[in-house]
């Protein structure tokens, strides 16, 4: 949280170059139906040499509606540099609805995210994101490495356009029943000035599950949730 909230002078990322994203999260099972989640993220551009974006995302996840759906009520505070090295703040409340089900041994999920972007120097934006993720029905090594693929298009409601797409290839891992995460490659296409630009990103994600009490059989998915 400290690193994500501190601002320091650096230049924004150049388009079309390699980036590194680092995410770390903590989640707590409040009771059998509710979880609290907190995640901090740092993004490095210019061939992973300069920090250009940092954020903290936190809120509550309701898992008690049904086994096949989760509802998340979240708030993100983000800072991103502009072309002159100034940090621009953004407030981003968002609602996530995630449908999930096994299918022929694969774990399939479909997350719809509705977010309101309260921007400091630009017009506020309503945006929709839809991530479809498939976890393969196989595990490797004692760390339970499990491959997955995912795709996530972005739709700007203000402009009425599709202006970003992400495609993931990754591996989930599990160090224990309370510590897990992922390693992933992300190809991101961003629309800027009427043309599309490609970004190649390597990312790491680490999650820690904290159980407040013995809740019986847990349905928490926070070790593997995006």
Closest CA to 171 of 156, 180, 182: 182
Residue with more model confidence, 187 or 178: 187
The DSSP H or E segment spanning 3 is: helix 2-5
The string of DSSP letters for 66-123 reads ETTEEEEEEEEEEEEE-TTS-EEEEEEEEEEEEEEEEETTEEEEEEEEEEEEEESSS-
> In the CATH scheme, what architecture does the domain 2-211 have?
Beta Barrel (2.40)
pLDDT tens sequence across 88-140: 999 999 999 999 999 999 999 999 999 999 998 789 999 999 999 999 999 99
pLDDT tens sequence across 16-26: 589 999 999 99
DSSP 8-state symbol, 145: B
Task: Say whether 205 sits in a helix, a strand or coil.
Answer: strand
**pTM for the structure as a whole:** 0.86
> Given this model, what pLDDT does residue 152 score?
98
User: What is the spatial distance between Cα 127 and Cα 164, in angstroms, rounded to a whole number?
Assistant: 11
Q: Looking at the predicted structure, is the pLDDT value of residue 1 above 80?
A: no
What residue spans define the domains of the chain?
2-211
User: What is the spatial distance between Cα 226 and Cα 214, in angstroms, rounded to a whole number?
Assistant: 25
pLDDT tens sequence across 185-225: 999 999 987 789 999 999 999 999 886 555 555 555 676 66
Confidence class of residue 2 from pLDDT cuts 50, 70 and 90?
very low
> Given this model, what pLDDT does residue 5 score?
43
Q: In the numeric block, which tokens belong to residue 197?
A: 């630009």
């Amino acid at each position: 949280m400290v690193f994500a909230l501190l601002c320091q002078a650096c230049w924004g990322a150049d388009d079309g170059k390699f980036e590194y994203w680092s995410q770390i999260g903590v989640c707590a099972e409040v009771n059998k139906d509710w979880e609290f989640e907190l995640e901090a993220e740092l993004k490095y551009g210019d061939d992973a040499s300069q920090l250009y974006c940092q954020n903290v995302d936190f809120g509550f996840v309701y898992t008690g509606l049904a086994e096949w759906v989760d509802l998340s009520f979240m708030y993100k505070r983000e800072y991103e540099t502009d072309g002159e090295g100034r940090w621009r703040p953004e407030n981003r409340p968002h609602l996530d609805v995630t449908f999930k089900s096994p299918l022929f041994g694969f774990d399939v999920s479909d997350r719809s995210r509705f977010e309101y972007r309260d921007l400091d120097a630009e017009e506020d934006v309503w945006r929709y994101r839809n991530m479809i993720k498939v976890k393969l029905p196989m595990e490797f090594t004692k760390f339970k490495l499990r491959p997955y693929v995912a795709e996530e298009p972005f739709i700007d409601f203000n402009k009425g356009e599709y202006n970003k797409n992400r495609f993931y290839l990754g591996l989930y891992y599990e160090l224990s029943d309370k510590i897990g995460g992922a390693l992933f490659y992300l190809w991101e296409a961003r629309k800027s000035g009427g043309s599309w630009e490609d970004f190649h990103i390597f990312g790491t994600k680490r999650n820690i599950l904290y159980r407040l009490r013995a809740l019986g059989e847990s349905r928490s998915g926070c070790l593997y949730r995006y």
